[in-house]
Amino acid sequence: MHYTKNSITNYQSGIELLLHNSLHQHSIKSAVTKFGYSEAQLNHINDLNKELTNVVHEVEQAKNEKRIVYRDKNDLLLKIKKQYMRYLKLTRIVLGEDPKASEALLLNGTRARTYKELLFQISAFVSNLMNNSSWLNALAVYNIKSDDIEQLNNRLAELSHLSDKCLEAEGEVRRLTTLKKKKLVTIQGYVSDYVKVVRIAFEEEPKMLVSLGISTKVDY
């Protein structure tokens, strides 16, 4: 009975069946007691399985939270890019012939393809516009106001916050996944040893093995 041969859900269900019948079928309980497996020891394995179940649920919850925060980040990035490109095109019309503005606002050339470089272009555009009232005032002809640029700047700040949350979510998933693997290895060691003992105890009674969910074919 190894996890590598089952999904983790099926593996844990098999452990639950194994321990439930070991604890509640008198003939099985009596037989394994003679091999040193007391009720307390069986309950200990059962508790380990419950701990593993809790961690498995925590991993799934953490993964879901990670999906949500990444979705929020990507949705916000799309809004920022759309808003930025609109302002950029209009700014090129108004200030495209101003060398200083073109350089400071990064008006020329294509937009970067990577997230980090594009974010740099957007941030430079926003911060330099906010720090130059004459450039900002020039955009009023196309109804671009300081409040519009301020909104874009606030969205950039929120994007940075969401990026941090994404890193935190990744770290939490990684931490819980490592913990899950550790607990899985621990319980698998206990269960593997117990199944070997049970096979010996009931080597002449294959029906008892079947009632415990153990294949009559050796699988260890």
| Predicted pLDDT of residue 6 | 64
What pLDDT, on the 0 to 100 scale, is given for residue 102? 97
Domain presence at residue 34: yes
Report the percentage of the chain scoring pLDDT > 90.
Answer: 88
Q: Report the CATH number at residue 152.
A: 1.10.287
The Cα 164–Cα 170 span in angstroms is 10
* pLDDT score at 1: 54
Closest CA relative to residue 162, chosen from 57, 40, 80, 91: 80
Domain assignment present for 218: no
Q: With contact defined as beta carbons under 8 Å apart, do 19 and 46 qualify?
A: yes
Mean pLDDT, rounded, for 193-210: 91
Residue 2, pLDDT > 80, answer: no
| Phi, psi angle pair for 108, to nearest 5° | -90, 160
Q: Has residue 34 got a pLDDT over 80?
A: yes
217 part of a folded domain = no
Residue 188, domain extent: 3-211
C-alpha dihedral, 158 to 164 to 168 to 171, nearest 10°: 140
pTM equals 0.82
- Cβ neighbour number for residue 130 with a 10 Å cutoff: 15
Is 219 part of any domain?
Answer: no
* Average pLDDT, integer, range 16-33: 93
pLDDT tens for residues 97-151?
Answer: 999 999 999 999 999 999 999 999 999 999 999 999 999 999 999 999 999 999 9
Structure tokens at 191: 């269960």
Answer yes or no: is 216 within a domain: no
pLDDT value at residue 215:
80
In-domain check, residue 143:
yes
pLDDT in tens, 70-101: 999 999 999 999 999 999 999 999 999 999 99
In the structure, what pLDDT confidence band is assigned to residue 177 with cuts at 50, 70 and 90? very high
Q: Between 18 and 206, whose confidence is greater?
A: 18
51 domain-assigned? yes
98: helix, coil or strand?
coil
Residue 126: closest CA among 140, 144, 105: 105
Length of the chain counted residue by residue: 220
C-alpha 37/C-alpha 39 separation (Å) is: 7
Average pLDDT on 6-16 reads 88
Q: Per the structure, how many domains does the chain have?
A: 1
Show the DSSP H helices in 96-141 as ranges. 99-104, 115-130, 133-138
User: CA–CA separation, 38 vs 192, rounded Å?
Assistant: 17
